[in-house]
Structure 1
Amino acid sequence: MATPHAPPPSSAAKQTELVWSSPACRQLIRNHSLRGTGVLAWGPAAGRQCYDLLVIGGGSGGLACAKEAAQLGKKVAVVDYVEPSPRGTRWGLGGTCVNVGCIPKKLMHQAALLGGMIRDAPHYGWGVAQAPHSWATLADAVQNHVKSLNWGHRVQLQDRKVKYFNVKASFVDTHTVCGVSKGGEETLLSAEHIVIATGGRPRYPTHIEGALEYGITSDDLFWLKESPGKTLVVGASYVALECAGLLTGLGLDTTVMIRSVPLRAFDQQMASLVTEHMAGHGTRILRGCAPEKVEKLPGQQLRVTWVDLTSDRKDAGTFDTVLWAIGRVPETASLNLEKAGVHTNPVTGKILVDAQEATSVPHIYAIGDVAEGRPELTPTAIMAGRLLAQRLSGRTSDLMDYSSVPTTVFTPLEYGCVGLSEEAAVARHGEEHVEVYHAFYKPLEFTVPQRDASQCYIKMVCLREPPQLVLGLHFLGPNAGEVIQGFALGIKCGASYQQLMRTVGIHPTCAEEVAKLRISKRSGLDPTVTGC
């Protein structure tokens, strides 16, 4: 989508100024400079609290690491502070996934799916009338659940004797951070080991007039008390398509503006099928377009001007809400990483790490979305955090394995995958060494209400040479995450096509179609499943 730009200056810049203006931090830096050693000892000192492990960031990865280390006998502290979004949205402990990501997204996705089931119900004999959806009721239920999770995390930290500080942390040296609370109170914390798990926040296209003033992001969508109404979603990421899909499913007039290709990091045939399904089920998709300006009209609606990049023709439309979903930026700007000597990628801003999750400073680590080269997925951050805590406690030497990580895009027709895309497999092994087995199928549940199933599709990417090691599996259809999770184990263990073909499917399910893939792309035969 839009060219990457720096995040809004309001959050990081203001907080950094606040941190370094605190008297305690200034004095500590002054003493540090006078000493001229370059490093402060991490042990006890006046006005400092000391720990075996200090975790910066209260998201899924950071909390998992902290709780695991504490359970293994370490003295642990967690510092976490959520800078309000430019629109003023705030939330509690738990990070993006709990508050403004996976959890509220999946609940709202389920609400949208229920709308489709209500439309199907009369075909199955249920006298159910389609009723208008209440955003306020849904939002209240989702937000109450999220708040219960916030509270649960606080209780779990307390139970494991992990000290929690609701402060914005900033490095003073390699072993010390200065935390500043919302009220300006300073806390100095030292630790033998420090883990950075601050995640990322949505990117704003600050070069577009009105983008910051009038637009929202996924940080705001799930906390809206009132319906967003007619919505323009700008972006081609999984966040963009998921949000657009659920809004359409809830009965809202929704448009997606895609600059180039959708789901760039995924298999592109699957990405095309995802957007085709969305376009055929109510979501308007503007391809090859980029926004230029957002204006607020007297009636509070937003007028968006965009350009068609192929024809250079300008167009405009009126919306109630503009949602930016053009990517994320790591939360590193206010950490003052240079004070600790932690290196980042100058392009992405992410922290450079090795296989041990260690940064350029051996006792400082980074996990999750903030680390360079790591998948931006909650489960990987959790597992990486737990393994890191176990290594620091001397319980294991196991490293996180980032290969063959399964994931699912929760668009109206869900897309689950594990392993390599077809493009990646061909690039790595050569087209002549890759065999792709595929099928278009129709879920049994779709038959009675005569639902469109033209995009329900499975493909298995394999090596061509027997026993045909499975390189990747891609599934587009209902409950894709539940289907892919089981097959991910087999692929992780080195399953072959021959082994999968000897696997007995569960009938009648969508998942059994994976075990029935017999037609290869190379054969040119029609891959449409017929019969039962």
Structure 2
Amino acid sequence: MAALCRCRHRWKRNNCLHVLTRNLTGKYDYDLVVIGGGSGGLACSKEAAQLGQKVAVLDYVEPTAKGTKWGLGGTCVNVGCIPKKLMHQAALLGTAVKDAQKYGWQISGPICHDWASMADAVQNHVRSLNWGHRVQLQDKKVKYLNLRGSLLDEHTVRGLTKAGKETLLTAKNIVIATGGRPKYPTDIPGAMEHGMTSDDIFWMKSSPGKTLVVGASYVALECAGFLTGIGLDATVMVRSIALRGFDQQMAGLVTDYMEAYGTKFVKECVPKRVDKLFSGALQVTWTDTLTGSEHKDTYDSVLWAVVREKQGQAGSRAPVELLKARGDRGQYHRCLLHPSFRPCLPPPFPCSFLASLGARSRSLSDFVSEDGRSPGQVCQQKHGRKHNISTLPVCMRTVDALVFLLSALYTSTWVAQSRVFIMLPSLVVWSYGDEGVGAGGEWSMPRHHRDSVSTASVTRPPGSVRSHTFGCPGGPMGTDAQLLITSCSAGRAPETKALGLDKLGVQLKKESGKIIVGADESTSVPNIFAFGDIGEGRPELTPTAVKAGKLLARRLAGHGTELMNYDNVATTVFTPLEYGCVGLSEEEAEERHGKDGIEVYHAFYKPLEFSVAERDASQCYLKVVCERGGDQKILGLHFTGPNAGEVTQGFALGLQCGATYSHLLQTVGIHPTCAEELTKVNITKRSGLDAMVSGC
């Protein structure tokens, strides 16, 4: 044993001397080492090798909590785009078989689906892609190492095998492209023990059966959609809004279609616990966020596609009266803070306060004016002192329940040599009992006053994040509750924890854990670069990672200077009714240009294929968001319908080239197609005219 220890010590010492010598002489083992064998990492490594660089790529897949693991290729190939699209296709084929009977096809017997056959075919295809990637790396002379990579310094990568054997590699440049993995909500008992994620469902050998999908991200809706499409019982539990970050009108059409075709939705609810019954079924307990009532149901599988992470605790006890509001359109206000909502910004501390006549109390009347023309005021406790802060003016005639933002996260930045504080628009807090819930949804309150500070529109401001607790002196007639700050993410966490970045000084975004990168994908440490899902503010899309990786490889090899353009990147949500988009959502366009600064052309249409099959086309819709003045430059294009990805892809080129509404009308469409409706759209939302397409 002593001899073995001496050998190990000698090996490590020699290895360290070897690395030190290489770093001092500037002679490295490789020109480039890439950590991460996903689509982006592979594209970067192969491109660099083609340009004459000596390249190594490290990739290691940590098994999921369920023990699921896979081969080379990353999320897209193994547990994302590829298997998802194939299972989506399986669901579409089921619908096509049903439609076929209307077209004269004689089908005898019931139509049924066999999960095992589909899964076997999909998994075999994925394995063929795994093998293909390894062959391509070998052909291009890229060294592939199945090692868990971490950084020792700006030129040294440590690789560990599953057994713990260490290998050190030195490189002139290091690229991090590790992507992200789904996360379980750790505050929900039974979530990890009895649940699964999108990293598991595509590798299941047997049917998941009756499935609860928790979350309403695109991953959640796509999974629920294909499960329903192949004949399974699927339910989506939505805490606030569906498809956060997408155009909310289009998101509503997507979920309406899913609901009409069999997917169940449990809305404004949050899960509390998952228990496994003696029968093997999973009993899920959840709470209705509007009423506070508790409900239960049993499922065969629970798929987590959204997670709520506690970012910290902002105060011990805070008064709460009501946790909901009703807007002037008669619907429950599903969020306290819409992504486009901005409080006015009287420095240094912003917060918001809404109240109604029905929820008035002596303490409240001191802070909210009845006509809504004057800002309400709240008191902030800080170091034993009280500060009155002007906030959102609210017309009290439009609400009939109390909404109080108990706590807020804000970030600081510099504007015109003055330090201002900006509330993070995607983070909002309210609490009941010990359950904190993030906010989201449709803003149904009157338009608020906008402060003249231009930074009010900043969505990802720089600076450190802090938290504060706000409350009324004496409190509204209320219930004491524990206040927790919570945030909502798409259910994926960046793979950064095991990389050793903190020791090197690589800056991370505290809230997301992602690496802060520049326009050239550089990090805060020279010679270390990062791109793809791991980069802060970067779209979590395979094509952008592939393109960014190739451009980075060219720059590092001295064969180009082009930077990745992340604007106007098209994407598609592969739900039963597909949704494709490129450019700004209507909400984003209105936020940037003002409601009077945009023109929205829209149309409801019926695909020809739906007519003979007698399928409902109520949610087949398109809209083109344009600047209102001048040539009416197109800001965003949105489409729900068959083959939405194929339709949207071509229009993405137009937006990259600065297409205008006039260009769209000058384009001759292909008849009869769904895409041609975009070349004929001429009804504006502003006009109020019927947008239903009729005839040619």
1:72 aligns to what?
Answer: 51
Q: Find 1:124's aligned residue among 103, 120, 132.
A: 103
Q: Would you say the 8 A contact 1:25–1:172 is kept in 2?
A: no
1:98 aligns to what?
Answer: 77
Q: Would you say the 8 A contact 1:175–1:192 is kept in 2?
A: yes
Distance 1:379 1:164, change over 3 A: same
1:97 and 1:392 map into 2 onto residues whose CA distance is 25
Distance 1:90 1:525, change over 3 A: same
TM-score by length of 1: 0.92
Q: Would you say the 8 A contact 1:440–1:455 is kept in 2?
A: yes
Cα displacement (A) at 1:172: 1.3
Cα displacement (A) at 1:182: 1.4
**Which digits, 9 at most, give the CA deviation of each residue in 1:270-300, with x for residues without a partner?**
0011111111110000110000000001111
**Which digits, 9 at most, give the CA deviation of each residue in 1:466-498, with x for residues without a partner?**
310000000000000000000110111000000
Distance 1:228 1:25, change over 3 A: farther
**Unmatched tracts of structure 2, length 5 or more:** 1-6, 307-490
2:34 aligns to what?
Answer: 55
In the alignment, residue 348 of structure 1 is paired with which amino acid?
Answer: S
**Which digits, 9 at most, give the CA deviation of each residue in 1:65-90, with x for residues without a partner?**
00000000000000000000000000
2:545 aligns to what?
Answer: 381
**Which digits, 9 at most, give the CA deviation of each residue in 1:448-472, with x for residues without a partner?**
0100100000000000013100000
1:291 aligns to what?
Answer: 271
2:16 and 2:304 map into 1 onto residues whose CA distance is 44
Q: How does 1:220-235 map to 2 (within 5 A)?
A: 220-235=200-215
Q: Does 1:137 align with 2:117?
A: yes
2:468 aligns to what?
Answer: none
2:680 aligns to what?
Answer: 516
2:270 and 2:8 map into 1 onto residues whose CA distance is 46
Cα displacement (A) at 1:41: 6.2
Q: Find 1:504's aligned residue among 642, 645, 668.
A: 668
1:269 aligns to what?
Answer: 249
Aligned to 2:196, the other structure's residue is in SS state coil
**Unmatched tracts of structure 1, length 5 or more:** 1-21, 33-38
Q: How does 1:479-490 map to 2 (within 5 A)?
A: 479-490=643-654
**Which digits, 9 at most, give the CA deviation of each residue in 1:197-225, with x for residues without a partner?**
00000011010000010100000000000
1:112 and 1:506 map into 2 onto residues whose CA distance is 27
Aligned to 2:670, the other structure's residue is in SS state coil
Cα displacement (A) at 1:120: 0.4
Q: How does 1:64-463 map to 2 (within 5 A)?
A: 64-129=43-108, 130-326=110-306, 327-463=491-627
Aligned to 2:42, the other structure's residue is in SS state helix
Aligned to 2:686, the other structure's residue is in SS state helix
Q: Would you say the 8 A contact 1:53–1:194 is kept in 2?
A: yes
Q: Would you say the 8 A contact 2:239–2:267 is kept in 1?
A: yes
Q: Would you say the 8 A contact 2:154–2:526 is kept in 1?
A: no
TM-score by length of 2: 0.71
Q: Would you say the 8 A contact 2:188–2:272 is kept in 1?
A: yes
1:338 and 1:248 map into 2 onto residues whose CA distance is 44
Q: Would you say the 8 A contact 2:37–2:58 is kept in 1?
A: yes
1:491 aligns to what?
Answer: 655
Aligned to 1:255, the other structure's residue is in SS state strand
1:470 and 1:83 map into 2 onto residues whose CA distance is 44
1:428 and 1:111 map into 2 onto residues whose CA distance is 40
Aligned to 2:275, the other structure's residue is in SS state strand
Distance 1:487 1:337, change over 3 A: same
Identity %: 65
Cα displacement (A) at 1:171: 1.3
1:16 aligns to what?
Answer: none
Cα displacement (A) at 1:377: 0.1
In the alignment, residue 132 of structure 1 is paired with which amino acid?
Answer: C
Pairs aligned (count): 504
1:517 and 1:157 map into 2 onto residues whose CA distance is 47
Q: Would you say the 8 A contact 1:97–1:103 is kept in 2?
A: yes
Aligned to 1:83, the other structure's residue is in SS state coil
2:660 and 2:135 map into 1 onto residues whose CA distance is 45
Distance 1:250 1:455, change over 3 A: same
1:387 and 1:271 map into 2 onto residues whose CA distance is 33
Cα displacement (A) at 1:49: 7.4
In the alignment, residue 232 of structure 1 is paired with which amino acid?
Answer: L
Distance 1:506 1:41, change over 3 A: farther
Aligned to 2:613, the other structure's residue is in SS state coil
In the alignment, residue 305 of structure 1 is paired with which amino acid?
Answer: T
Cα displacement (A) at 1:338: 1.9
Q: Would you say the 8 A contact 1:29–1:172 is kept in 2?
A: no
Aligned to 1:362, the other structure's residue is in SS state coil
Cα displacement (A) at 1:236: 1.0
Aligned to 1:183, the other structure's residue is in SS state coil
Q: Would you say the 8 A contact 2:22–2:28 is kept in 1?
A: no
1:30 and 1:67 map into 2 onto residues whose CA distance is 28
1:317 and 1:23 map into 2 onto residues whose CA distance is 56
Aligned to 1:523, the other structure's residue is in SS state coil
2:28 and 2:74 map into 1 onto residues whose CA distance is 24
Distance 1:185 1:446, change over 3 A: same
1:41 and 1:169 map into 2 onto residues whose CA distance is 21
**Which digits, 9 at most, give the CA deviation of each residue in 1:18-60, with x for residues without a partner?**
xxxx96799469969xxxxxx9565499xx9710000000000
Q: Would you say the 8 A contact 1:40–1:173 is kept in 2?
A: no
1:218 and 1:519 map into 2 onto residues whose CA distance is 40
Q: Would you say the 8 A contact 1:41–1:175 is kept in 2?
A: no
Aligned to 2:612, the other structure's residue is in SS state coil
1:149 and 1:193 map into 2 onto residues whose CA distance is 28
In the alignment, residue 230 of structure 1 is paired with which amino acid?
Answer: K
